[in-house]
Amino acid sequence: MEAWDLVGIAAGSLTMFGFYPQIIKMYRTKLVGDLSLPMLLQYTTGIFLWLLYGIYLNNTILIVSNAVSLASFLCGIALYLKYNNKSRPADR
């Protein structure tokens, strides 16, 4: 394995778990009003298509990394929908 492969592995690891700090913050603070729902939906759709493409290519790295990302964005949408109503009753 070359040093450059470590760069690729580090890149994949960081972005695969990239949304988890946001999930933790949403869960702790219960505040989601400043997040963009279109951003969440766009990433979720895109990552789902990456996952399908990875399955088609039978590429384990694409499948695993996008499955992990997809889980975090689905959690993000669930937390957004749960707390966006509660924290902003005036918006209803």
Q: Which residues would be at the binding site for a second copy (CB under 8 A)?
A: 4, 7-8, 10-15, 17-22, 24-26, 29, 31-36, 38-39, 42-43, 45-47, 49-50, 52-53, 56
Side chain identity at residue 3, one-letter code: A
CB of 45 to a second copy, least distance (A): 6
Rg (CA), the chain: 16
Kindly tell me which of 28 and 92 has the beta carbon lying closer to a second copy.
28
**HEC letters along the chain:** CCHHHHHHHHHHHHHHCCCHHHHHHHHHHCCCCCCCHHHHHHHHHHHHHHHHHHHHHCCHHHHHHHHHHHHHHHHHHHHHHHHHHHHCHHHC
* Shortest separation between residue 74's beta carbon and a second copy, angstroms: 15
Nearer to a second copy, 39 or 78 (CB): 39
**Residue with smaller CB distance to a second copy, 29 or 92:** 29
Q: Rounded to the nearest whole angstrom, what is the least distance from the CB of residue 87 to a second copy in the complex? A: 9
